[in-house]
A and B are shown apart, each in its own frame.
Chain A
Amino acid sequence: MSISGTTTENVVGARKHRTVMAARLRQGTVFLVLLGLGLFFSVTSDKFLQGGNLVNILDQNAPVIIMAVGMTLTMIVGGIDLSVGSVAALAGAISAGLIVRSGFPVGVGMLAGLLVGLIAGLVNGSLVVYGKLPPFVATLAMLGVARGLTLVYTEGRPISGMGEAYTFWGTGKVGSIPVPVIVWIIVVLIAWLVQTRTRYGLHVYGVGGGAETARLAGVAVNRVKLATYGLSGLMAGLAGLLLTARLWSAQPQVAVGFELNAIAAAVLGGVSLFGGVGSVLGAVVGALIVGVLSNGLNLLRVPSYTQQVIQGIVLVLAVTVDIYSKRLERQ
């Protein structure tokens, strides 16, 4: 005979209560931070709330939001993708080059750009899944390789003259809504549906929360990981096309450091660095926090050097709240 028993009911009750509180706190945190920032800037700057400025925020942050979608999936599956900025530059350069230098139609060039992103992502995924490289190392290598290839291909000079069918994707408007905004809303909507409605979406959480368990449950773990890195590359490629279209040219040094913004957005949005937790909607809010902060600080004429300090502090504060609420949840 052995003895054991459950904790007393009031303890369980108290625990449940605290858990619910913690969960609410966490879900609310990011939105509250975003609202708080918005409120702060609408009081301190009379330009912040103007329609044009708000649309501008949504427009300018399209590339980072799209990259953050891929980053979120990659981080939930238990990895990371440091190469998204470089891959975006490479995709933009190759699409522009094919059109301008080699005379391909715009549609073909843009599809090729997306394909470049997808391939880079699949290479990342293969290195992680089959080469057993840590994601950090594999994608760090890709960060260097993709940027290097961009510089080689462009010979370090911008490529321009793709025509309006291309630049429309970065500067055009449908009604009064900029095209990049429409693109990221569609991307986020699809990603959200994938996360909440599809097997793949659930399996991403499963693999990130416990790869061995998922494997034993019959989940094709390797394929899920590969697909996720592929998607992240594809998102980076799309972001690269939007950036190239916006700038009317493929700049070899475009999107340097964007991977850090995408990671910051994901983490602000509640994605765990250890995998298994997070959502694309959270990441979008996270990206908007970064965007609103930089927009507002610009309006307040805060020097860009100081802005970086403030952004770092905001990231630390937001994640601290998240960790604290998780601790509450665990008790």
Chain B
Amino acid sequence: MSELQPLLHMMHISKTFPGVQALRDVELIVYPGEILALVGENGAGKSTLMRILNGVFLPDAGGVLPSDADAGQILWEGQPVAIHSPHDAQAVGISMIHQELALIPYLDVGKNIYLGREPGGALPGTIDWGQLYTRAQEQLDRLGLDIDPRIQVNLLPLAQQQMVEVAKALSLDARLLVMDEPTSSLTEREVETLFAQMRTLRDQGVSIIFISHRMDEIFTIADRVTVLRDGELVGSERVADLTEEQIIRMMVGREISTIYERSDHPRSAEPVLEVRGLSVRDTLDDISFRLHRGEILGVAGLVGAGRTELAETIFGVRPTSAGTIAINGQEVRIRRPAHAIGQGIGFVPEDRKAQGLFLRMGVNINVVMAVLRRLTRWGLIRHGQAEQISADLVERLDIRTPSLTQRVRNLSGGNQQKVVIAKWLTLQPRVLILDEPTRGIDVGAKAEIYRLMNDLAAQGVGILMISSELPEVLGVSDRVLVMHEGRLSGEFDPRTATQDDIMGAATGSTLNRKNGKAGAQ
């Protein structure tokens, strides 16, 4: 491949923000018709590099070495190009699919796809709607999507919205697509469709930069991989020449023998949480299980199987229609989150930014949010004590933040998640429910979260962990429950069960698995 002229060559790219060197002398090469995986931990500089490519940021003018006269230059088919805005990037032939959905919720699919590039109508300034919807339909057909281009986008399921965004990028006739974790909310089948489409595009000569945290996806789809760490280029290699361990080592710069950690501590026989016959109208049907002291109980299942709903119901967010919940053998009534918190239940939600954190407030305030009542005297917060508590937890959980008052939105995903967990630790919880605890978190931080979960379990906390990542469910849990369409469809011992066993129960495909307790104690 190296004899080919690169489609894109970003040379000696550095970017300094006040107080931070985000990128240092990074080179990125993309050849025509290849899929390049761009990997690195959060904060490694992937997003900054991609924003420079998209014209959102300009690279620093000077290079690291004075001799780097071409520092900060971007070559497109060997010619220098100036990309000063997303518009410039589009004009060159670069199109981005962002991690956060970049769709206008109240506009329909067709308008979203062609916003900013509407086919003109008879009079200047007008739009030829017929043409617009015809073209939109063609783009959707090309992806094999059964979506009406006239339907309002926010009425579609999240996965379909994502596909609309892919369709939007494809409609730009881009020669280089940047896909930032495009699979994070797609189903297995949709991921396959997307990958098939990506391969077709590659065969048509389109290049793709693919950002993902999932190793299996990188090995499935990518031709080459470029690894960034702490704002520097670690290396670019053919994927076929590397193993998963090698890539991880390049990313974290240290050996991680096993990311997943199960400490196999003895767990108590006494249930700290017992759920009997729990039902919620239209969502949960007759759920019964026990969570023991010091146990990590994994909950697997498809998106929409009712796992988050189960967690929210236990935490008092949703009203139950039947069933009971007992804490330490005592039946309790939980009708509001405050009741659950009073019973020593903590809940780390799936969407930490929207549900777990006050993004614009400091680390210290976020940590003590759940114990404010205890820290209040005569209606006033005792800031000294609050400071003490948050300082202790920041140290204990190794939360990397420049200061206690740092706004949480400026922390990396892994550190944000630790802040959410720290919030619950202030309560010394009996039960901690974690919903997708490592979503969007890089490998190094994942390992730390697992270690933390094990520490808590060793101290006797019962942990309920909902996860869509099968290696995680199997690698961390002491026991695994599987849900399917609002019911428990299986219970497994992760030491003996395989990913296929769990998938079987999660899809409800095999009858005996659905009812059985395959592989359980």
Contact = CB atoms under 8 A, between A and B. Distances in A.
Interface of A: 1-8, 11-12, 16, 19, 197-200, 202-203, 205-206, 209-210, 212-219, 276-277, 329-330
A7 B117 contact: no
Contacts of B214: 2
A4 B117 contact: no
B157 A214 contact: no
Contacts of A1: 216, 470-471, 499, 503
B61 interface: no
A5 B302 contact: yes
Contacts of B105: 209-210, 276
A40 to B, nearest CB: 33
Interface residues of B, number: 48
B96 A3 contact: no
B118 A7 contact: no
B506 A3 contact: yes
Interface stretch (B120-128, B316-324, B365-373): B120-128
A216 B303 contact: no
Given A1-B471, A2-B470, A218-B90, A213 B96 contact: no
A199 B106 contact: no
B471 A3 contact: no
Given A4-B303, A5-B302, 4 more contacts: A4-B187, A214-B116, A217-B117, A219-B115
B138 interface: no
Interface string B49-87: 000001000000000000000000000000000000011
A2 B468 contact: yes
A209 B104 contact: yes
Contact of A8 (B107, B468, B485): B485
Contacts of A329: 155
A277 B507 CA distance: 39
B352 interface: no
Contacts of B304: 5-8, 11
Contacts of A213: 102-104, 115
A329 B156 CA distance: 11
18 contacts: A1-B471, A1-B503, A2-B469, A3-B188, A3-B301, A7-B304, A8-B304, A198-B127, A199-B118, A202-B118, A202-B127, A205-B106, A210-B104, A213-B103, A219-B116, A276-B104, A276-B105, A277-B106
Given A3-B506, A210-B102, A213-B102, A197 B126 contact: yes
B468 A4 contact: yes
B125 A200 contact: yes
Interface string B287-317: 0000000000000111111000000000000
A79 B118 CA distance: 24
B96 A216 contact: yes
B301 to A, nearest CB: 7
Contacts of A209: 104-107
B186 interface: yes
B125 A4 contact: no
A3 B503 contact: yes
Contacts of B497: none
Contact of A198 (B102, B126, B485, B499): B126
Interface in B147-185: 154-155, 157, 159, 185
B111 interface: yes
A3 B302 contact: yes
B104 A197 contact: no
A18 to B, nearest CB: 10
A205 B104 contact: yes
Contacts of A203: 115-116
Contacts of B54: 216
Nearest to A8: B485
B502 interface: yes
B187 A5 contact: yes
Nearest to A211: B104
B470 A210 contact: no
B222 to A, nearest CB: 17
Give the top 5 A-B pairs by smallest Cβ distance, nearest first: A5-B302, A209-B104, A217-B116, A7-B304, A218-B116
Nearest to B113: A217
B179 to A, nearest CB: 15
Contacts of A214: 104, 115-116
Contacts of A5: 187-188, 302-305, 506-507
Contacts of B499: 1
B96 A218 contact: no
B369 to A, nearest CB: 26
A6 B304 CA distance: 6
Nearest to B120: A199
A177 B111 CA distance: 39
Contacts of B185: 4
B213 to A, nearest CB: 11
Contacts of B126: 197-199
A276 B106 contact: yes
A197 to B, nearest CB: 5
Interface string B88-107: 00100000101000111111
A215 to B, nearest CB: 7
Of the listed residues A2, A213, A214, the one surrounded by the most CB atoms of chain B closer than 10 A to its CB is A2
A206 B121 contact: no
Contacts of B471: 1
A170 to B, nearest CB: 32
Nearest to A193: B126
A13 B118 CA distance: 32
A6 B157 contact: yes
Contacts of A216: 54, 86, 96, 98, 102
A124 to B, nearest CB: 23
Contacts of B503: 1, 3
A1 B468 CA distance: 9
Contact of A3 (B117, B157, B300): B300
A3 B470 contact: yes
A7 to B, nearest CB: 4
Contacts of A218: 86-87, 90, 116-117
A217 B302 CA distance: 33
Given A4-B187, A216-B96, A218-B116, A205 B107 contact: yes
Nearest to A19: B155
Interface string B183-203: 001111000000000000000
Interface string B326-340: 000000000000000
A202 B111 contact: yes
Contacts of B127: 197-199, 202
Contacts of B303: 4-7
A57 B157 CA distance: 45
A4 B121 contact: no
A6 B102 contact: no
A217 B115 contact: yes
Contacts of A206: 104, 107, 111, 115-116
A117 B214 CA distance: 57
A200 B123 CA distance: 13
A218 B116 CA distance: 5
